Amino acid sequence: EPLWAAFVDHAPEMLKFVEAHSPTRFNPNRDPDPYAEAPGGMAWGRNISAAPIRIGQLGPWRGKIRTPTSDVRLSYEEIVDTFLFAAPKKNVIRFLPHLIWRKLTGARTRGTALTIGLLKGCLDHGVEIWSETSALRLLTDDVGVTGLEAECGGRSITIEATKGVVLASGGFEWNKDMMAEHFPGPVEWTASPRTNTGDGQRMAAEIGARLDHMDQALVMGVTPVTYEGHLHGQPAADYFLPHSMIVNRHGHRFVNEKQMNIGLAFAEMDPETGTPAHLPAWRIYDSQFAQKYPHAMPNKSIAGNHFQDRTLEGLAGQIGVDGDGLVETARRFSGFASTGVDTDFNRGVSIWDRNRGGDPAHKPNPTLGTIELPPFHAMPFKASFLGTKGGARTNERAEVLNQEGEPIRGLYAAGNVMANSFGSKGVGAGTTLGPCLTWGYIAALSAVSGV
């Protein structure tokens, strides 16, 4: 696959380029590949994250950095290694010197650190950045793309592009019309910026670009959070802890709750009704979970986000799930927890499951625990979008292709606005970031070379 080869060839170059031209520094994480047992899989070594960086060095631009939905004073590795769910106070004390120092210096971690470093690199090299500016349409002539029409401050402006235009405007998960066309059915608690409205896909299609993979998206479980005054989703990292499971309306489990691409299970359709076979879905857990992992309990202030009952039958009645099915599933699941072996879905078996899954202090399987002690709890498990994967079809040079498969001169694409080059499955934590950065790098090289 030419696009795969291009990514593999250019990703190391991209990392070196970013570190050479910005204050961004990358550290390795100890994450395994989601399919580490497959040929070529690795137990660790392919996943990296940005090192902590001070936001103050951005000067007046620091106010443009969006506040994340979670605290970014602890790094990805620190959060995972401390197992915050079980002992948040103890582990906060453990990292108190880090927290105090980062508070005093304004240091940020994870995705915010990456954003700060990239923005600082752009500013240091004279890149002109226009905020509050909307792209309207691509400008073309008989040869190809010549520029862009945009709107800034209520007036239309024309931008001439001597080297080309790179589309990097994200997905379309906040465009109601496009979602209705490509993903019919309810979508709640979307976990991406509301500016992802498909502008790039629309503009590319208007000049004859081919759009592919418009029915693919990165889907996973989320918990609801209020962000910038609206209800959003935040990727959940606690639904595979012991004493919890996910069931459908029949009260049955339908997936290994810890697997990387859990969202694919929601795509299964009921052959009789043509509706999603496993939606609505529910997280079920008992008092053991509530006592051991209080930090992972749902936000009860959001209506419809938490249900509780002394019996599983009563809980099933509250949430519209088959009671007999739920009782039997809990009995069977508790048996798996006792033996440590999930014979239905192999939860907690793979390297991925055991490396970053469950409670390391829980035995025999860190991801399995009985569900048997009242009161019992339920919360909706939403199939939420982290981002769509469909967009402009590109070649290995990041050039956008027309309906005949030929490059549109002067038009390039990178990130979620391009048709995803990896297929329907995610390939690791932060699965969009590496490809987004790499294809942006490839697009820039192609535009500058002009050949």
pLDDT in tens, 123-179: 999 999 999 999 999 999 999 999 999 999 899 999 999 999 999 999 999 999 999
Crossing angle of helices 2-21/433-449, nearest 10°? 90
Total residues found in the chain within this entry: 451
Q: Do residues 369 and 242 make contact, with C-beta atoms less than 8 angstroms apart?
A: yes
* pLDDT at 67 (0 to 100): 84
The third-level CATH classification (topology) of the domain covering 221-384 is Flavocytochrome C3; Chain A, domain 1 (3.90.700)
pLDDT-based confidence at 390, cuts 50/70/90?
very high
| % of the chain beyond a pLDDT of 90 | 62
What span, in angstroms and rounded, lies between the C-alpha atoms of 451 and 441?
16
**For residue 88, pLDDT beyond 70:** no
> pLDDT digit string (tens) for 205-216?
999 999 999 999
Phi, psi of 217 (to 5 degrees): -155, 160
Please write the tens of the pLDDT for every residue from 328-347: 999 999 999 999 999 999 99
- Which part of the chain has CATH 3.90.700.10? 221-384
pLDDT at 64 over 80: yes
Q: pLDDT value at position 188?
A: 79
Compute the distance between CA of residue 400 and CA of residue 396 in angstroms, rounded to an integer: 10
Name 336's Cβ contacts closer than 8 Å, sequence gap at least 6: 342, 343, 344, 347, 365, 368
pLDDT for the residue 133: 94
Beta strands in 177-318 (DSSP E): 211-212, 217-227, 230-235, 244-247, 281-285, 307-309
Q: For residue 99, which phi and psi values (nearest 5 degrees)? A: -65, -40
pLDDT score, position 87: 66
CA–CA separation, 205 vs 159, rounded Å?
20
Distance CA 63, CA 44 (A): 36
Q: Tell me: the pLDDT tens digits for 291-331?
A: 998 878 777 778 888 999 999 999 999 999 999 999 999 99
Tell me the pLDDT band of 61, cut-offs 50, 70 and 90: very high
Minimum mean pLDDT range among 31-40, 52-61, 170-179 = 31-40
Residue with tokens 């986000």: 305
Helix, strand and coil percent figures for the chain, each rounded to 5: 35, 20, 45
Residue 286: what pLDDT?
Answer: 97
Whether residue 193 contacts residue 170, with contact meaning beta carbons closer than 8 Å, is answered with: yes
Lowest mean pLDDT among 80-84, 161-165, 172-176, 437-441: 80-84
Q: According to CATH, where is 3.50.50.60 located in the chain?
A: 133-216+389-449
Q: Among residues of the chain, what percentage have pLDDT more than 70?
A: 97
The overall average pLDDT reported for the chain is 90
Q: Angle formed by the axes of helices 110-124 and 2-21, to 10°?
A: 70
Confidence of residue 44 (pLDDT cuts 50, 70, 90): confident
Most confident of 38-47, 182-191, 256-265, 440-449: 440-449
Residue 451 has pLDDT above 60, yes or no: no
- Mean pLDDT over residues 216-229, rounded? 83
pLDDT at 168: 97
Tens digits of residue pLDDT in 248-292:
999 999 999 988 878 788 878 888 887 788 888 999 999 999 999
Beta strands at 217-227 and 230-235: parallel, antiparallel or unpaired = antiparallel
From the candidate CATH numbers 3.60.15.10, 3.50.50.60, 3.90.1150.10, 3.40.50.720, the one assigned to the domain spanning 133-216+389-449: 3.50.50.60
Helix (H, G, I), strand (E, B) or coil at 103: helix
Tell whether the model's pLDDT for residue 70 goes beyond 80: no
Q: Which tokens hold the place of 34?
A: 């989601």
Contact (Cβ atoms closer than 8 angstroms) between residue 349 and residue 342: yes
Regarding predicted confidence, which is higher, 24 or 302?
24
